[in-house]
Amino acid sequence: MVSLRPMPLPFREIFTRLEARVPMEVWWPGESDFEIMVGAILTQNTAWTNVEYALANLKSENLMDPQALLDCSTEQLVELIRPAGYFNAKAKYLKNLCTWVLANPNAADLPTPELRKSLLSVAGVGPETADDLLLYVYQRPVFIFDTYARRMLEAAGYDVPKSYEGARQALQHHADLAGFDTAQQAKLHGLIVDGGKRARTEGWQDLLAPLP
DNA sequence: AACCAGGAGACAT
DNA sequence: ATGTCTCATGGT
């Protein structure tokens, strides 16, 4: 007698359950697309509360603009984004992204795979940040694979590939089959992160209980 | 007071 | 292709 692993909880069901128990309005606040881009760099491995300090500093100096940010000295930029950590690296990354934005005014016309490659060519934009931008700036229905998604989906019984790229593609496929559109992907990512934080204290059993 | 957060690049293997 | 190391502040 072989004990079979139960069918993983369908994406739709996970989404519905998260939506029911995790209060969330808008996951990625921002007054402009550029602010979302800046936030995407600053929040790399960093708590969002720290990013908010840095964003406020940049706004107070009227730097929430690619050209203005490029014209700002690296020394001052480092000082303004200091609360977000990794400030030396992130200052460079921000300027790299500004250069890319100004050099690619028609980026939104590119198909998603090409746009993704172009974003990844920027030093400081890795796979997850690229997906953040595709989803929250360019409105593409991409599934954002991060450590929270891995933990939750493995807990739900999914066999998540080890490599980032393999996992990303597999889960994108699942999300596509489930028919998630851009708005739903945007919400799902937030729900997964928030849900993952709760699970640290409450565990997964309640949320991911198998279907009857 | 260790631990971690809305990751990515550099480098060795 | 797949592992380590480093980067850094602020909240718990």
Assigned CATH topology for domain A33-136: Endonuclease III; domain 1 (1.10.340)
d(CA A162, CA A52): 32
Residue A30 token pair: 């921002």
Give tens-digit pLDDT for A99-118: 999 999 999 999 999 999 99
Q: Closest by alpha carbon to A104, among A90, A92, A93, A116?
A: A116
Q: Is the pLDDT of residue A5 over 70?
A: no
**Do A107 and A116 meet the contact criterion of CB atoms below 8 Å apart?**
no
d(CA A205, CA A191): 17
What pLDDT band is residue A7 in, cutting at 50, 70 and 90?
confident
Q: Closest by alpha carbon to A158, among A119, A204, A90?
A: A204
Q: Is the pLDDT of residue A189 over 70?
A: yes
The closest nt to A44, taking CA to C1', is B7
Q: Which chain C positions have some atom within 7 A of a protein CB?
A: 1-3, 7-11
Between CA A56 and C1' B12 the distance (Å) reads 40
What pLDDT band is residue A211 in, cutting at 50, 70 and 90?
confident
Q: Is the pLDDT of residue A212 over 90?
A: no
The closest nt to A148, taking CA to C1', is B6
Between CA A114 and C1' C4 the distance (Å) reads 31
pLDDT value at residue A157: 92
Q: Flag whether the pTM goes above 0.75.
A: yes
Q: In chain A, what are the domain boundaries?
A: 11-23+143-208, 33-136
Give tens-digit pLDDT for A149-182: 999 999 999 999 999 999 999 999 999 999 999 9
Q: Is the pLDDT of residue A123 over 70?
A: yes
pLDDT value at residue A50: 98
Q: What is the 3-state secondary structure (H, E, C) of A85-139?
A: CCHHHHHHHHHHHHHHHHHCCCHHHCCHHHHHHHHHCCCCCCHHHHHHHHHHCCC
Distances (CA, A) of A45 to A1, A40, A50, A61, A85: 45, 10, 11, 25, 9
Between CA A93 and C1' B7 the distance (Å) reads 12
Q: Closest by alpha carbon to A78, among A97, A66, A91?
A: A91
Work out the average pLDDT over A13-28.
94
